[in-house]
């Protein structure tokens, strides 16, 4: 129709925030709390949602997604908990080493790719390490709404058990913590066996844990729709490569520690995105021509699409070869 | 401007009328001289002043009368408003979105005063001043979705999003173009669209679903849809087809200008923040042919669109039997001159009808 046509920038609707607290939780994890710079309340969000944090790292824009872990009903504050990744491309390191109280950042509106199934009569949460963060918001939400839940949380050690002590203290019968260094393991099969009809299971953690939960639940006859997972993929560094963007008619270089999407943005080409983690499908891009090998790392395209060489998700996937032309 | 609310009916004596203001701001849906389906979505971030796109929820001269008509429909058939048990939070989301938007966009008509969870809502046109506790259903006379949509023009479908699919799990539907909430409740996106011809083969629904799943908080979207209605009926439901279906055969060359209406839906899409559901308001605008042809560009264009529309679409939209009569009438307002691109009336630049 284009009644009143408007070009809205991809990834528009951002929120300017000021860091209101920086709370180191242990050797690796720090919580960052934000207030809106304009003093207004934040929009409410649904438990499980993430925000994309925009950082200006010495002229270079970094965009990293983090689960919102504050109470969704508290519109005065948004909080994220960030695990320092010394091997990563630097977003978490930047937050840990450069961002302090009073600093300004930009957040995207919340996006939820890991929502609660509101039909659930009971919710069982399985967390591994920093995967605890979305469950912090879910627990706050269910406590307010009177929902039934239990948490099983595996972490490396007491010292690295982010929020583990707090959770056990606040919810002694519902929160269960397992320490790897004490050889404690989640008894998943027993756990899945004893659940009432209408229970939903949610897992957030390393890929191995997610696969383990899906496989075990399926083997125990759980319907797929009742098992939910979220794995944030961080773009991995890789060999630099060159891409020709046919619609924009420019050739760009993708550096070792930036994603293809970041390189496209750096060169001033407007590209859609949402999760920046290979899950939402928003940045799907058509391949016009390719001589080489794709390194597909997304969850969005199916195996056939990966094999076809006709599509790529530039937020996490890369390319190794002589020539790549994208419709962008 | 201050709105004068009409005293009018959408049934029996059909006293519904559009003022000149309402005619000029009518959301004419055809941006060119022909029509075919498309995923014609755009951002819903305002629009030209006084247009129906300007505010998040447009309030016009028909507001009070439309709410009276909705109350009559609900009194006869309470199943026009339903909400599956897991959709109560989405109902509160809807109430919050509408109250906040209306009080910010039309402060002369609506006020919202919030003190924590204690909310006071003032709706001046309907004479409501109510204090309640947010998220506490016992403080409202009915569920949150029903409460607020008895005070908001248009139908509301509330969709739950689960596993890359949308489900019609709640709604308030009294001004619909021949579909039934009671029939569709609980259906997924492809199931409730199954009756629409051609579009599925064109891959429209797959693309539309992908778009809708990605509608973001803070970035609502909109599109237009249209059909034809004989007499200014809001409630053209399957439940009442026996009452309104027969009226389609009451058209004559003498009465068609007054009786035949173009019916346009302004559909908007909002991500609901607390429930992660999707709110789909469907706002119905009606205009009599005789009023529409007072805009020369629209008269020319509507004739060409109706004339060239594929059979399947004219049949699906329910006017294939009346198409010859419509073309005889509309043909009088098409002098063959070219029309300017876009939907606006362009009264200053488009030539008057040449006779």
Q: Which residues pair with A83 in a beta bridge?
A: A29
- Residue A241 sits at φ, ψ, to 5 deg, of -150, 170
Domains (ranges, CATH) in chain A? 14-108 (2.40.30.10), 122-230 (3.40.50.80), 241-326 (3.10.20.30)
What is the predicted pLDDT for the residue at B39? 62
**Number of domains into which chain B is organized:** 1
Q: How far apart are CA B328 and CA B305, in angstroms?
A: 14
From CA A328, how far away is CA A287, in angstroms rounded?
Answer: 9
Residue A60's pLDDT is 76
Q: Given a cut of 60, is residue A133 above it in pLDDT?
A: yes
**Do A50 and A127 contact (CB within 8 A), yes or no?**
no
Instruction: Give the per-residue pLDDT at A232.
Output: 63
Q: State what percent of residues in chain B have pLDDT above 90.
A: 81
What is the per-residue pLDDT across B141-187, written as a single tens digit (0 to 9) for each?
A: 999 999 999 999 999 999 999 988 999 999 999 999 889 999 999 99
How close A1 gets to chain B, by Cα (Å)? 6
The verdict on residue B146 lying in a domain is yes
pLDDT at residue B14 is higher than 90: yes
Closest by Cβ to A109, choosing from B86, B216, B274: B216
Contact B161 A115 (CB under 8 A): yes
Task: Encode pLDDT of A292-302 as tens digits.
Answer: 999 998 877 88
- pLDDT-based confidence at residue A1 (cuts at 50, 70, 90): very low
> Given pLDDT bands bounded at 50, 70 and 90, which one contains residue A3?
very low
Q: Is residue B131 part of a domain?
A: yes
**B226 versus A230: which is more confidently predicted?**
B226
Yes or no, beta carbons of A4 and B47 under 8 Å apart: yes
pLDDT value at B43 more than 90: no
Does the annotation count B223 as an active-site position?
yes
3-class SS at A132? helix
Q: A78-83 and A29-36: which strand pairing?
A: antiparallel
Name the pLDDT band for B211 (thresholds 50, 70, 90): confident
B353 domain-assigned: no
Domain containing B187 equals 20-331
A20 confidence band (pLDDT: 50, 70, 90): very high
CB pair distance less than 8 Å for A5 and B276: no
> Would you state the pLDDT for residue A5?
38
- The yes-or-no verdict on residue A7 having pLDDT over 50 is no
Sequence-ordered strand ranges (E) for chain B:
42-43, 81-83, 110-115, 118-123, 128-133, 155-162, 165-172, 221-230, 260-271, 278-288
| Rounded CA separation B123/A303 (Å) | 54
Whole-number Å distance between alpha carbons of B284 and B290: 19
CA distance linking residue A325 with residue A201, whole number of Å: 42
Interface of B with A (CB under 8 A): 27, 29, 31, 40, 42-43, 45-48, 51, 53, 85-87, 89, 96, 160-163, 210, 214, 216-219, 223-224, 273-276, 342-343
pLDDT (tens digit per residue) in B47-57: 999 999 999 99
B119 in any annotated domain:
yes
Token representation of residue B47: 């629009």
Give the integer Cα–Cα distance in Å for A195 and A126.
Answer: 14
Residue of B25, B150, B222, B223 marked catalytic: B223
What pLDDT was estimated at residue B189? Answer: 95
Residue of B nearest to A75 (CA): B116
Sort out which chain B residues have CB atoms less than 8 A from A44's CB and list them: 96, 273-274
ipTM here: 0.85
Task: Write the pLDDT tens digit of every residue in A177-217.
Answer: 999 999 999 999 999 998 999 999 999 999 899 999 999 99
A17, A35 in Cβ contact below 8 A?
Answer: yes
Chain B residue at shortest CA distance from A228: B163
């Amino acid at each position: 129709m284009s009644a009143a046509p408007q070009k809205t920038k991809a990834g528009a609707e951002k929120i300017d925030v000021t860091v209101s607290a920086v709370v180191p939780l242990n050797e690796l994890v720090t919580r960052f709390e934000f207030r809106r710079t304009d003093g207004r309340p934040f929009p409410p969000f649904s438990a499980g949602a993430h925000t994309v944090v925009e950082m200006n790292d010495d002229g270079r824009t970094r965009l990293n997604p983090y689960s919102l872990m504050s109470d969704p009903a508290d519109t005065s504050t948004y909080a994220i908990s960030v695990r320092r990744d010394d091997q990563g491309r630097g977003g978490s390191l930047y937050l840990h080493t450069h961002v302090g109280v009073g600093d300004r950042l930009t957040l995207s509106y919340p996006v939820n790719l890991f929502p609660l199934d509101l039909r659930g009569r009971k919710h069982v949460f399985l967390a591994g390490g920093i995967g605890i963060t979305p469950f912090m918001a879910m627990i706050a939400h269910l406590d307010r709404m009177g929902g039934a839940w239990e948490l099983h949380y595996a972490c490396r050690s007491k010292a690295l058990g982010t929020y583990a002590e707090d959770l056990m203290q606040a919810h002694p019968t519902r929160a269960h913590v397992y320490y790897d260094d004490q050889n404690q393991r989640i008894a998943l099969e027993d756990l899945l066996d004893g659940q009432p009809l209408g229970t939903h299971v949610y897992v957030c953690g390393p890929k191995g844990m997610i696969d383990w939960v899906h496989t075990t639940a399926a083997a125990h006859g759980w319907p797929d729709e009742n098992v939910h997972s979220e794995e944030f993929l961080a773009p991995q560094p890789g060999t630099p490569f060159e891409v020709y963007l046919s619609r924009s008619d420019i050739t760009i270089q993708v550096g070792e520690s930036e994603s293809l999407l970041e390189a496209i943005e750096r060169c001033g080409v407007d590209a859609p995105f949402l999760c920046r983690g290979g899950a939402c499908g928003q940045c799907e891009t058509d391949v016009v021509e390719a001589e080489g090998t794709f390194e597909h790392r997304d969850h969005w395209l199916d195996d056939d699409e990966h094999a076809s060489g006709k599509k790529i998700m530039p937020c996490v996937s890369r390319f190794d070869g002589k020539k790549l032309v994208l419709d962008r | 401007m201050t709105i004068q609310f009409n005293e009018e009916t959408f049934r029996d004596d059909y006293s519904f009328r559009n003022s000149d203001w309402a005619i000029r701001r009518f959301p004419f849906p055809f941006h060119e001289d022909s029509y075919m389906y498309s995923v014609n979505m755009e951002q819903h971030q305002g629009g030209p002043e006084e247009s129906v796109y300007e505010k998040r929820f447009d309030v016009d001269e028909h507001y009070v009368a439309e709410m009276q008509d909705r109350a009559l429909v609900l009194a006869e058939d309470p199943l026009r408003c339903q909400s599956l048990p897991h959709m109560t939070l989405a109902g509160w989301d809807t109430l919050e979105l509408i109250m906040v938007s209306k009080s910010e966009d039309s402060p002369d008509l609506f006020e919202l005063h919030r003190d924590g969870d204690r909310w006071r809502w003032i709706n001046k046109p309907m004479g409501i001043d109510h204090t309640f506790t947010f998220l506490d259903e016992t403080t409202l006379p009915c569920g949150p979705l029903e409460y607020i949509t008895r005070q908001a023009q248009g139908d509301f479908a509330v969709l739950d999003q689960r596993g890359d699919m949308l489900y019609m799990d709640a709604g308030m539907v009294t001004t619909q173009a021949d579909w039934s909430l009671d029939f569709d409740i609980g259906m997924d996106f492809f199931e409730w669209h199954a009756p629409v011809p051609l579009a599925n083969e064109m891959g429209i629904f797959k693309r539309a679903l992908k778009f809708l799943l990605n509608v973001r908080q803070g970035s609502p979207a909109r599109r237009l849809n249209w059909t034809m209605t004989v007499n200014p009926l809001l409630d053209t439901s399957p439940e009442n087809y026996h009452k309104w279906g027969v009226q389609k055969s009451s058209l004559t060359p003498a009465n068609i200008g007054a009786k035949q209406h173009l019916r346009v839906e302004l559909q908007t899409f909002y991500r609901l923040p607390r429930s992660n559901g999707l709110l789909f308001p469907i706002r119905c605008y009606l205009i009599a042919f005789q009023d529409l042809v007072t805009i020369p560009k629209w008269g020319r264009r509507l004739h060409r669109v109706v004339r060239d529309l594929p059979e399947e679409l004219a049949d699906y939209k329910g006017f294939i039997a009346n198409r010859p009569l419509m073309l005889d009438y509309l043909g009088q307002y098409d002098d063959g001159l070219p029309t300017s691109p876009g939907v606006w009336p362009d009264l200053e630049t488009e030539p008057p009808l040449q006779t």
